[in-house]
Amino acid sequence: MGAAKILVVDDEPTVREVVARYLRRDGYDVRELDRGDLVDAAVAQFQPDLIVLDIMLPGTSGLDVLRQSTNGRVPVILLTARVDESDRVLGLELGADDYVTKPFSPRELVARVRTVLRRIQPAPAPTPDAASVLEFDGLRLDLPAREVTAAGHPVTLTAKEFDLLAFMAQAPRQVFSRAQLLVHVWDSSPEYQDPATVTVHVRRVRGKIEADPEQARWITTVWGVGYRFEP
């Protein structure tokens, strides 16, 4: 298997050059862009495994790129100089896997890239057993195939959404705090990543598997503590 391909999109030449240099040093195949409206064509031609995407871009903003182009197919790490939490939350709502706030450590960004890519790599084929498929009343998770069915209908989840649901479904009725979920699902911690990341992903999963997301059946909130999967 060749080196993972990373598309770096930032209109600041210095930032783009530093990010690309550190990623290449880590062995990645990197392509650079300075405009958001060039992302679609680059994705089609380069077929990146991950996109490092600035929010403030000429042509098309990073958030609009998320809305219009990647559609959850390619993992995205956002770069943002904005301090407004709403921008970060919106990026996560639109499907970004992670974000890094400028100014940032290039080493930290490379570590985030490594973590996201590790999560999306296919796991070794397991020996078939009953635990490979989790079945509940109206919800089915095929862990090796990474497929989910709710009420008899296939559900499309991003890699991170699936990881979150699968992790909780394998420990039914156990309560997990947002900090614990960051550690176990994101390989991160509140020191490096906003716990709101978990809140946003739980909301997105509920929106896809629940008949009524406002009255959650599967992933319930334990107020003041965290979340629990109800079998």
Assigned CATH topology for domain 130-229: Arc Repressor Mutant, subunit A (1.10.10)
Residue 220: strand, helix, or coil: strand
- What's the pLDDT band for 67 if we cut at 50, 70, 90? confident
Distance CA 80, CA 62 (A): 9
Token pair listed for 195 = 């716990």
88-100 pLDDT per residue, tens:
778 888 888 888 8
Host H or E run for residue 108? helix 106-120
174-208 pLDDT per residue, tens:
999 999 998 889 887 777 778 888 999 999 999 99
Percentage of the chain modeled with pLDDT above 90:
65
CA distances from 186 to 74, 112, 126, 189, 209 (A): 17, 10, 22, 8, 21
- What's the pLDDT band for 47 if we cut at 50, 70, 90? very high
113-170 pLDDT per residue, tens:
988 888 776 545 444 454 689 999 999 999 999 999 999 999 999 888 999 999 999 9
Domain boundaries along the sequence of the chain: 5-120, 130-229
Give the pLDDT score at 102: 85
Q: Would you state the CATH architecture of domain 5-120? A: 3-Layer(aba) Sandwich (3.40)
Give the pLDDT score at 84: 64
Host H or E run for residue 184? helix 178-186
